[in-house]
Structure 1
């Protein structure tokens, strides 16, 4: 039987909840490579509630540091609004300081992995995620206009660098297929522990809604399906109505039935919690959002001849081998490019631009 922790907390007292989470879900971190992945949708102020709060990240980093890991990496690939601005997003949100020197731009290096052929043959995943012995996922308690809620499973969408996210959004074509897609990305590297920032949650049309909700809780578990099922119940939503949870359960990734989940704490439904439409209409039928997604899929990297020094770093690091250097200027083969934009992230001269 799965177990999910529901523990009272404020951002000032969050360390107690983090300690309890590690007591309930022990992790052997000694001499291990540990990646801690917050939800960093985009650059924003911590008070906007769009990203995992810095106090939660800081408490997890402090806890992990006491457990003897060989290394700690804090990183994420921010969402559609922050391509090429990884450091800036972490600085603006306060997560850079909360990482306590462990931040790394995990978008700089990626590895190609086989994917579900119904979508694409391969995707690029941040190498730090693939190489990690332990991955700790720190989702935010939020709604999402396409998947209704975003939690433990959806947070793994950030293991994909660059515009792959927008490209896969477009390839999915409709909300149902996007639910399936999210599960396929999650399966690439299932995290070992999930700690959800539900001190202040988000309702309405997330994942960047201005409608915040004081909840005062930290959730935790070592099974994403169970954690998301508890989140759904707290939002007043029957977990069985979420396609991505049903799909994950069918794939053997966990159980969403609350009768199969042991609760450490008090599971209570939040009064009058505002949910987006269950069919994904909040994003699927939003012309502005769809145009933004479309514009991101049209972006292509190009070397600026005035800034490029022909150092070859982008060619060496391109995980899709889509770059070559025929005449002292990198050239992109868009037939091979997977729009991960690692070249833009890694260029020491910032000479790779997106057009």
Structure 2
């Protein structure tokens, strides 16, 4: 079996005059775009639209990346669709705030809020068996995945594979967190989801990524790259290597490798363009608790992990000086474990399922994760 290809192209600025050429270079290195997209081909772009923020916050896929990929599609005669199901707020509002709506209008693209779930027809799967996928995802001739390089509280890293979780419309995402609160089970679900949904191409926005408390309240960090590949897990392996996160410390990447759905290491990937050793970022701030956990051996976690998880949890911790008391955290909590008070949100740790949706969606970065003994 041939190695999956991942291209790495330098791009230091979203306003670079040759951004379109760089996107074309990245995409054309890993597939024959002219054979994939022809006149009338229905092409759906799926950006990361977690919630509505200006693009400089690095929460969402940058609109200029969406523009360049959209032009890439239009120049080949494709019919352009752009859609997502946000973690918080309406898709229409979030597209407007992120700048993607304006780009879509200028490109003549059809904006599709993901609101029409249909049965995926995969009764053989364990964790994603009952998923209902957005209709447009299944009807599109070509799906182009546009993830953003970011850290993540639950999965440690969010990239190409995790971005497909947004293909579940409505309340399914919250219900899935309730059903699969454990990090390992949630990651197993992501692997199965990538069996159901297979983008023809993933182009990762790594011009500016997010470090620290991602995916919604971390710090923007210039990475200066565009990554592209067909295999979602291969793209993520390369991205993790660049930011100094061992890929096997990301559960869904490890599981995909075990199931032969993704590469085990860089040795299993055909890397085109820049050399990894020339672009590594040694001081990229990973999600804080992961730094300690990643040094534990997998065999130790298998033996002791279940015992430790019964008394030691990573739980949301409020930084009151940053909190603006918007109570978005209470709105997004799938089990109502966040109570409103005059001083701000109050967390019920015994009820908390540790999905970290509150931390993920906090617009002010006022919720961090800390380890706590809970009996």
Structure 1, unmatched stretches of 5+, are 299-355
Q: How does 1:240-279 map to 2 (within 5 A)?
A: 240-264=248-272, 265-267=274-276, 268-276=279-287, 277-278=289-290
CA-CA distance at 1:21 after TM superposition: 2.0
Query: How many Å separate the matches in 1 of 2:236 and 2:218?
Result: 22
* Structure 1 residue aligned with 2:55: 46
CA-CA distance at 1:250 after TM superposition: 2.9
Alpha carbons 1:198, 1:217 under 8 Å: kept: yes
Alpha carbons 1:163, 1:297 under 8 Å: kept: no
Alpha carbons 2:164, 2:193 under 8 Å: kept: yes
Alpha carbons 1:193, 1:220 under 8 Å: kept: yes
Bigger mean CA deviation after superposition, 101-110 or 168-177? 101-110
Partner SS for 1:130 = helix
Query: How many Å separate the matches in 2 of 1:93 and 1:237?
Result: 28
CA-CA distance at 1:120 after TM superposition: 6.2
Instruction: Compute the TM-score of the two structures, normalised by the length of structure 1.
Output: 0.77
1:297–1:67 Cα change, 3 Å = farther
CA-CA distance at 1:157 after TM superposition: 0.4
1:168–1:293 Cα change, 3 Å = farther
Matched, 1:205 2:213: yes
* Structure 2 residue aligned with 1:26: 32
Structure 2, unmatched stretches of 5+, are 295-308, 319-326, 337-375
* Structure 2 residue aligned with 1:137: 145
How many corresponding residue pairs? 293
Alpha carbons 1:225, 1:256 under 8 Å: kept: no
Matched, 1:65 2:74: yes
Report the RMSD for the aligned CA atoms in angstroms.
2.4
Alpha carbons 1:119, 1:168 under 8 Å: kept: no
Query: How many Å separate the matches in 2 of 1:293 and 1:173?
Result: 18
1:131–1:285 Cα change, 3 Å = same
Task: Determine which of 4, 12, 15 is the counterpart of 1:12.
Answer: 15
Partner SS for 1:205 = coil
Partner SS for 1:194 = strand
CA-CA distance at 1:253 after TM superposition: 2.0
Instruction: Compute the TM-score of the two structures, normalised by the length of structure 2.
Output: 0.73
Query: How many Å separate the matches in 2 of 1:38 and 1:286?
Result: 27
